[in-house]
């Protein structure tokens, strides 16, 4: 199973989980044509799409996905927090995002050892998942307090709506088990983050046996 990053920024977010036979889309903040490009314009493997919340960089293009006949899982619309798309089982969990309903996901598939934890656009996470033995953690690391300007107009939104690298490292340490293979840092701020430094900090939190990556266009990792 591969986790592919189409984009991971305030300009738009989109990721694919695919084994070539089944593909799950995570976030709909990028045009559907970008998904098609990654899949060489063969969309027959797509079994569904999930989205964390309604902000445009995550949800703007959802109508394109609907028009393509793709089943969507948008937890804020329904009384259920579980979806099954093909061989993927997706459990949603709420996270705080500056008053906007927002969700992270636990994703299982027979080709994923343990599970994948995916969470972005959250101030913190009140849940622990170590007992689920995640093999991959994809977690937002949007900013560092050392880089955020208190005079910025969006200062409050940054702190209340996003996760710092320090909080991300705390989350990783709280949920790491011997089975953790990958950590993917999501949604780094263009102004308030330093990718190389954040990767080093996350690597120090996990130890050298874990593959730590910063999400960027075209990145693929085996999970």
Over the chain, what HEC string results?
CEEEEEEEECCEEEEEEECCCCEEEECCCCCHHHHHHHCCCCCCCEEEEECCCCCHHHHCCHHHHHHCCCCEECHHHCCCCEEEECCEEEEEEEECCCCCCEEEEEEECCCCCCCEEEECCCCCCCCCCHHHCCCEEEEECCECCCCCCCCCCCHHHHHHHCCEHHHHHHHHHHHCCCCCCEEEEECCCCCCCCHHHHHHHHHHHHCCCCEEEECCCCCEEEC
95 within domain boundaries: yes
If one counts the domains in the chain, the total is: 1
54 within domain boundaries: yes
222 within domain boundaries: no
Is residue 26 within 8 A of residue 5, CB to CB? The reply is: no
Is residue 14 within 8 A of residue 30, CB to CB? The reply is: yes
Residue among 137, 140, 175 at smallest CA distance from 161 = 140
221 within domain boundaries: no
Kindly report the number of other CB atoms within 10 A of residue 208's CB atom: 8
CATH code of the domain in which 32 resides:
3.60.15.10
223 within domain boundaries: no
pTM score over 0.75: yes
pLDDT score, position 152:
61
CA-to-CA distance for 29 and 62, rounded, in angstroms? 8
Which residues have C-beta within 8 Å of that of residue 30, sequence separation ≥ 6? 6, 7, 12, 13, 14, 61
145 within domain boundaries: yes
pLDDT score, position 155:
57
> How far from chain centre, in Å, is Cα 43?
21
56 within domain boundaries: yes
69 within domain boundaries: yes
pLDDT score, position 102:
97
The tens place of each residue's pLDDT in the chain, 223 residues long, gives: 999 999 999 999 999 999 999 999 999 999 999 999 999 999 999 999 999 999 999 999 999 999 999 999 999 998 789 999 999 999 999 999 988 999 999 999 999 999 999 999 999 999 999 999 999 999 999 999 887 766 666 655 666 689 999 999 999 999 999 999 999 999 999 888 999 999 999 999 999 999 999 999 999 999 9
Which residues have C-beta within 8 Å of that of residue 45, sequence separation ≥ 6? 18, 20, 21, 22, 23, 39
Q: Which domain holds residue 174?
A: 2-216
């Amino acid at each position: 199973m591969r986790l592919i990053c189409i984009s991971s920024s305030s300009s738009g977010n989109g990721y694919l989980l695919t084994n070539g036979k089944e593909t799950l889309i995570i976030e709909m903040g990028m045009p559907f044509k970008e998904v098609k490009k990654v899949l060489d314009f063969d969309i027959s493997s797509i079994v569904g799409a999930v989205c964390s919340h309604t902000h445009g960089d995550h949800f703007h293009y959802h109508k394109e996905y609907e028009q393509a006949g793709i089943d969507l899982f948008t937890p804020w619309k329904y009384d259920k927090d579980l979806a099954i798309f093909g061989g993927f089982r997706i459990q949603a969990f709420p996270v705080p995002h500056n008053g906007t309903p927002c969700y992270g996901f636990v994703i299982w598939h027979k080709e994923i050892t343990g599970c994948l934890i995916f969470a972005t656009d959250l101030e913190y996470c009140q849940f622990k998942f170590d007992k689920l033995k995640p093999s991959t953690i994809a977690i937002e690391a949007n900013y560092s307090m050392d880089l955020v300007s208190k005079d910025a107009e969006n200062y409050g939104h940054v702190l209340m709506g996003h996760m710092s690298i320090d909080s991300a490292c705390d989350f990783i340490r709280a949920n790491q088990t011997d089975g953790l293979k990958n950590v993917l840092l999501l949604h780094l701020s263009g102004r308030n983050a330093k990718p190389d430094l954040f990767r080093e900090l996350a690597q120090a939190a996990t130890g050298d046996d874990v593959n730590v990556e910063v999400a960027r266009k075209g990145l693929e990792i085996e999970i």
